[in-house]
Amino acid sequence: DRSVCAPLPVLGRDVAVPLVTGGEVTYAALDYAASAPALQRVWDDVAAYAPYYGSVHRGAGYLSQLSTDLFENARRTVAAFLDCRPEDQLVFTRSTTDSLNLLARALPADCQVFVFETEHHASLLPWQDHRVTYLDAPRTPRQAVETLERALADRDPHGPALVCVTGASNVTGELWPVRELAAAAHAHGARIVLDAAQLAPHHPVSLRDLDVDWVAFSGHKLYAPFGSGVLAGRADWLRAAEPYLAGGGASRKVTRREDGGVDVEWHESAARHEAGSPNVIGAYAIASACKALTEAGWDTLVAREQHLVETVRAGLARIPEVRVLSLFGDDAPRVGVISFVVDGWNSSHFAAALSAEYGIGVRDGLFCAHPLVRTLLGTDPQTQGECGAPEAAPGEKSLNAIRVSFGAGTPDEHVERFIGAVR
Ligand code: PMP
């Protein structure tokens, strides 16, 4: 029922962009998977707070105290949004990339890491200082669990191990069987971190329910564009690790030694990994987005988004030259992220035309998931351009893809315009 599923308003609904064919059209932002537009509510909350913000954890003045309270309240709000356990820690970071790099630095020295080759580079690459096992792309969710189980069964059972997995693919939008993967990890004594960059904006994420050890996501994909992200989960490895950044805020006590050096006692709380002045507006904005999504109601948001997913998939299915990319097949549950290629078209030219002729913003390329996109396209790595914008002549096999993505606040008109333009 579309009247029940009224979209949450986002910024930029009235932005007019010029067309090469003359005239203007309102911009259709269909690149939510890269950065979603801010919710109007987030913007309003930030604007109301902006005159009052001050330094966090330091100042004696009223506004510093207010900001410290708001920052720590934001931490509690986001922890509640993620359904954290009481003993979990929540660290504010810059992004998902930052969060996963932080965790990579906090792993015990002999930790073995297991990661599917299908991950976004933010999940694929931070573990290089450890023993990493890259797992082949599965073709069903069941195969993903079996592949992980096999790999874990072969591992050294005594050492620590971490599995890193995405909740929803930034290429296919397909949901991964997180709960089953977490159960497999735990059954083999491993821990698991969930990359929720593409899941959290589209689905409720409960650490408790999914039984994952950590979760990471980015504010700018969750309708809160202020350079902030989150790593939340088990405190023990975070507490035992050297601080991610050394500096003020992370250090509790610093003293000169007799030999001329310096001794440091680091905090054991989340502050240990938050050295420097924190991004208080960013944290506040994430908390505002969490509240807005919760109040709008996930059932409503998911139903609305699934209506858009079905509209786009049905529209694309009617165009014979279009091939939608999928790892798990047509029936797999998915979020509003859909990648495709068009026979006879270079994807970069195609995406440029959607922008120039129709005012539609999508993305083209390999989406920072090079191994996955190559698997889906069946192309040879040697023929790829470095950043996913290779020059294929029209008529040749696509070397990259086009991605359309959407979520809260996307009006029907945007996806209808998109389907019309592709047709
Ligand atoms: N993981 C996934 C699944 C993503 O889609 C992205 C962003 N495209 C990231 C991680 C990295 O997010 P950020 O750029 O905000 O660090």
Domains, in order of start, for the chain: 16-30+297-422 (3.90.1150.10), 43-295 (3.40.640.10)
| Whether the CB of 166 sits within 6 Å of ligand 1 | yes
b/e for 244-280, b at 16 or more Cβ within 10 A? beeeebbbeeeeeeeeeeeeeebbeebbbbbbeebbb
State yes or no: pLDDT of 6 exceeds 60: no
How does pLDDT run across 73-86, given as a tens digit for each residue? 999 999 999 999 99
Q: 3-class DSSP state for residue 285?
A: helix
| Whether the CB of 99 sits within 6 Å of ligand 1 | no
How confident is residue 392, by pLDDT bands cut at 50, 70 and 90? low
How confident is residue 395, by pLDDT bands cut at 50, 70 and 90? low
CA of 123 to the centre of ligand 1 (A): 8
CA of 261 to the centre of ligand 1 (A): 40
CA of 89 to the centre of ligand 1 (A): 21
Torsion 243-249-252-255 (CA) sign: positive
How confident is residue 378, by pLDDT bands cut at 50, 70 and 90? confident
Angle at 388 between CA 383 and CA 393, to 5 degrees: 60
Nearest CA to ligand 1 atom 7: 34
**Catalytic site residue 5?**
no
Please tell me which residue in 5, 164, 368, 387 is annotated as part of the active site.
368
Amino acid at 301: L
The CA distance from 122 to 96, in Å, is 7
Angle at 296 between CA 291 and CA 302, to 5 degrees: 115
- Residue 4: the pLDDT is 40
Mean pLDDT of the residues in the chain: 94
State yes or no: pLDDT of 1 exceeds 50: no
42-64 average pLDDT score = 93
Q: Which two tokens stand for residue 212?
A: 């994952």
User: How would DSSP label each residue in 103-163?
Assistant: HHHHS-TT-EEEEETTS-HHHHSTTTTSEEEEEPPPSSHHHHHHHHHHHHHTS-TTS-EEE
How confident is residue 5, by pLDDT bands cut at 50, 70 and 90? very low
How confident is residue 361, by pLDDT bands cut at 50, 70 and 90? very high
Q: 3-class DSSP state for residue 255?
A: strand
CA of 220 to the centre of ligand 1 (A): 10
- Residue 7: the pLDDT is 64
How does pLDDT run across 304-357, given as a tens digit for each residue? 999 999 999 999 999 999 999 999 999 999 999 999 999 989 999 999 999 999
State yes or no: pLDDT of 2 exceeds 50: no
| Whether the CB of 195 sits within 6 Å of ligand 1 | yes
State yes or no: pLDDT of 116 exceeds 70: yes
State yes or no: pLDDT of 393 exceeds 90: no
How does pLDDT run across 118-147, given as a tens digit for each residue? 999 999 999 999 999 999 999 999 999 999
- Residue 399: the pLDDT is 82
**Strands 337-342, 401-405: pairing kind:** antiparallel
- Residue 398: the pLDDT is 73
How confident is residue 387, by pLDDT bands cut at 50, 70 and 90? low
- Residue 379: the pLDDT is 77
Left, alpha or beta for 378 (phi > 0: left; psi -120 to 50: alpha)? left
- Residue 382: the pLDDT is 58
362-382 average pLDDT score = 88
State yes or no: pLDDT of 150 exceeds 50: yes
State yes or no: pLDDT of 391 exceeds 60: no
| Whether the CB of 120 sits within 6 Å of ligand 1 | yes
- Residue 3: the pLDDT is 41
| Whether the CB of 96 sits within 6 Å of ligand 1 | yes
How confident is residue 384, by pLDDT bands cut at 50, 70 and 90? low
